[in-house]
Amino acid sequence: MGEKSVMLAAGGTGGHLFPAFALAQELGRRGVAVDLVTDERGDRYGTGFPARAIYTVPSATLAGRSPMAAAKTALSLASGVRAAYALLGRVRPGAVIGFGGYPTFPPLVAAKLRRIPTAIHEANAVLGRANRMMASRVSRIATSFEQTALLADKLAPRVRFTGNPVRDAVIAASSQPYRPAEANEPFNLLVFGGSQGARYFSEAVPPVIDRLPPDQRARLRIVQQCREEDLAEVRNAYAAAGVTAELQTFFRDLPERMANAHLVIGRAGASSIAELTVLGRPAVLVPLPHAVDNDQLRNASRISDAGAGWCLEQKALTAEKLSETISSLMEQPTVLSAAAGAAKQLGRPDAVVRLADLAEELIGVRTANRA
């Protein structure tokens, strides 16, 4: 299908799909054709992925430590490698770039077998399990943080710090400067965090808001992502507290909602961190507990250490603590402004350009010294 093409491999989660989406947009502007290979979940976010074709290959995540589970995973991945090998023979991309997660394993292994240049992109502050398996086998490793935990020193020559790409909608919204809410002005609070975060925040945040003083509740304008089954209960809780709230299961205009927020409460997934920093918005981050390799805690700690937000671990987070945090920040616009500025300093709006440059190097239309 022509040598000026790149195949992107990404699983169906937002953390993998969104940076791949951003890269596809940029490569399209450069006249490079993009194909997407994913697992059976596909584009479950309904993003309308900008690829000329979307393919699926079998994949699996190791769900248990028993020999039976390991054998089942190995068989599924082997089937995926065979399917990906045949697919690459038909499509003939100039390079294959994976965005983490086990769905990237079959196409990257197949690309190695076909001697097609490869790269992986690590969105988090720690190298994920699938990327650790592939790191020594790929041509290049792109990172979102200048320091990435569990990335072997011997692989340094292959590493390129690019940042984590964000979609065009985030770049467009990033031109809106942060303006804190002064006393007695409406205060925009955005609450989101993916499917698991939506459940936790639906249960945790309404009682927290109810503890706020009446004058602060009257100022609040809450926008919150909820699961379908939680919408009615959360809506009733905010109505009882006298709080204005807009609730949806998914916000297609989330970048604009983030740009309009005075404070964000959410998990610390890689895409959320990238978007918050490019937008320059302060956030209270509650990392997903029990995450493999503590990737969200590491992400949130980088934000907290830079003064760009606040990291509150779920295991020690009480309604009183979160209520005090929100109440205090609502009364300190200068503190929020400082955090917004620190977040903006961390943002890498050029990440997608840098990663696209790397992709063009792999397919031979750009030399490394031009990157």
Contacts of 246 (CB under 8 A, 6+ apart): 222, 223, 224
SS3 313: coil
pLDDT band, residue 61 (cuts 50/70/90): low
Q: What is the mean pLDDT of the chain?
A: 92
> Where along the chain do its domains lie?
5-166+349-370, 172-346
Q: Residue 329: is its pLDDT beyond 70?
A: yes
- CA angle 331-333-335, nearest 5°? 100
- Region 179-205: mean pLDDT is 91
Q: How far apart are CA 46 and CA 43, in angstroms?
A: 6
Helix H or strand E encompassing 254: helix 254-260
- Beta bridge partner(s), residue 263: 189
Q: Residue 357: is its pLDDT beyond 50?
A: yes
- Region 207-230: mean pLDDT is 97
SS3 309: strand
Q: Residue 37: is its pLDDT beyond 60?
A: yes
- Region 85-96: mean pLDDT is 97
pLDDT band, residue 3 (cuts 50/70/90): low
Q: How far apart are CA 245 and CA 236, in angstroms?
A: 10
Burial (CB count within 10 angstroms: exposed 0-12, middle 13-18, buried 19+), residue 213: exposed
Q: Where is average pLDDT lowest: 65-69, 228-232, 342-346? A: 65-69
Q: What is the DSSP string of 10-78?
A: --SSHHHHHHHHHHHHHHHHTT-EEEEEE-TT-STT------SEEEE--------SSHHHHHHHHHHHH
| The two domains 5-166+349-370 and 172-346 share their CATH topology (first three levels equal) | yes
- Region 178-185: mean pLDDT is 93
State CA 187 to chain mean position distance: 26
Q: Residue 370: is its pLDDT beyond 50?
A: no
- Region 7-21: mean pLDDT is 87
pLDDT band, residue 40 (cuts 50/70/90): low
Say whether pTM exceeds 0.85. Answer: yes
Fold of 5-166+349-370: Rossmann fold (3.40.50)
CATH number of 172-346: 3.40.50.2000
Do residues 263 and 276 touch, judged by C-beta distance below 8 A? Answer: no
pLDDT band, residue 366 (cuts 50/70/90): confident
pLDDT band, residue 1 (cuts 50/70/90): very low
pLDDT digits (tens, 9 = 90+) for 138-156: 999 999 999 999 999 999 9
State CA 264 to chain mean position distance: 15
Burial (CB count within 10 angstroms: exposed 0-12, middle 13-18, buried 19+), residue 169: middle
Q: Residue 371: is its pLDDT beyond 50?
A: no
Phi-psi region of 31 (alpha: psi -120 to 50; beta: other; left: phi over 0): left
What percent of the chain clears pLDDT 70, i.e. is strictly above it? 92
pLDDT digits (tens, 9 = 90+) for 104-142: 999 999 999 999 999 999 999 999 988 999 999 999 999
